[in-house]
Amino acid sequence: MSVAVVHRYYHSGNHDHLYTANAGEIGTTTPGQTGNHGYAYESSSFTIFTHHHHGLLPVYRYWHPGHHDHFYTANHTEIGAVNPGQTGNHGYTCEGILGYISPHEFPGSVPIYRYYHEGNHDHFYTTNAGEIGTITPGQTGTHGYKFESIIGYAYPHEHHINTVHRYYHEGHHDHFYTANPEEIGTTTPGAVGNHGYKHESAAFHIFTHHHGGLVPMYRYYHEGNHDHFYTTNAGEIGTTTPGQTGHHGYKFESIVGYVSPSEFFGSIPIYRYYHEGNHDHFYTSNAGEIGTTTPGHTGNHGYKFESIAGYVPHH
């Protein structure tokens, strides 16, 4: 699912905050620099979905020419106009859709807080409640802004996703997954890199930072079986100390990234399989590769389905 960073600008003359996922509108993302229409760049604010998906709501953008105020809401009844150019309640004209957010929390999400400065007729939005200092409805905080509501939930501005690459060692019958392709030294399908591992494909995408609702995916290695093993349940092996060997002879190596233990908007599952003959764990987001998601059932190439390892963004 596609996402985009929403940038925050401020017009000191009009006392107006502008939020847009199209940095070209103002023409700068350099903090403190003033671009088109007199708006100075302040910061990246949050990350928004660019397309509609089941369960998401559009965030409408409005403009009040008299107050010089941009207003954003996921509740279209507040203004009552959803067509660009149409003027609705309180004199606000619809300018379009900023993007899409969730009305509920989801793994990795943060709330978007809405404030209003009555004297300046300025609406202000942030995921950092500390900027204003209150999330009590009706209470006025720093800089004269009064908290109004949470408009919805989105990814934070530092939302980062890495590609996890899949490699295979024919001699060891071992599948290896890493978000750091420099470990093997190639991302060319079919090319053999370091340690005899051949690149097969980009397997899936993973969160690079921990956020609420996410859990780490731990990486282990069994030297005797030449098997890399990945799990979000540290109790399976019993250690997360680098270099330490835990249950079943698996030694902890590192954290690959972060995944969700439950489904979320635009997510896909990571299926976990095991080949008993080769002592090889295999992970894929494409269940068709093995042909089964029935626990204990053996599918293509001798791989038996074990479980869903977690959920990751579909990028």
* pLDDT single digits (tens) 2-52: 889 999 999 999 999 999 999 999 999 999 999 999 999 999 999 999 988
Regarding whether 150 and 10 lie in a shared domain, the answer is: yes
Identity of the residue numbered 64: H
- Per-residue pLDDT tens digits for 55-68: 899 999 999 999 99
What pLDDT score does 315 carry?
Answer: 63
Is there a single domain that holds both residue 142 and residue 269?
no
Q: Give residue 158's pLDDT.
A: 77
Shared domain for 176 and 72, answered yes or no, is no
Of the three residues 110, 127, 156, the one that is the final residue of a domain is: 156
Report how far apart, in Å, the C-alpha atoms of 285 and of each of 141, 273, 303, 312 are: 46, 11, 15, 9
> Which residue range forms the structural domain that includes residue 85?
3-156
Verify that 21 and 143 share a domain, yes or no.
yes
Please give the pLDDT value at position 291.
98
Both 35 and 123 in one domain: the answer is: yes
Taking alpha carbons only, the member of 68, 66, 60 closest to residue 85 is 60
Listed in sequence order, the residues at least 6 apart from 130 whose beta carbon sits closer than 8 Å to its beta carbon are none
> Do residue 103 and residue 166 come from a single domain?
no
Q: Please indicate, yes or no, whether residues 10 and 123 belong to a single structural domain of this protein.
A: yes
Q: List the structure tokens of 315.
A: 């990028």
Give me the phi and psi of 282, to 5 degrees please: -130, 135
Report the domain count for the chain: 2
Do 141 and 89 share a structural domain?
yes
* pTM of the predicted model as reported, rounded to 2 decimal places: 0.74
The residues, any chain, with a CB within 8 Å of residue 272's CB and separated by 6 or more, are 230, 281, 282, 283, 305, 306, 307, 308, 309
| 87 and 225, same domain (yes or no) | no
What gap in Å lies between CA 176 and CA 254, rounded to an integer? 13
What pLDDT sits at residue 145? 98
Residues 241 and 134 in one domain: no
Residues facing residue 229 across a β-bridge:
220
Residues 19 and 133 in one domain: yes
In this prediction, residue 54 carries a pLDDT of: 83
Where does residue 76 rank: exposed (0-12), middle (13-18), buried (19+ CB within 10 A)? middle
pLDDT along the chain (315 residues), means of 10: 90 98 97 98 95 92 98 97 97 98 89 98 97 98 98 87 95 98 97 98 92 92 98 98 98 97 88 98 98 98 98 82
Same domain for 152 and 231, yes or no, is no
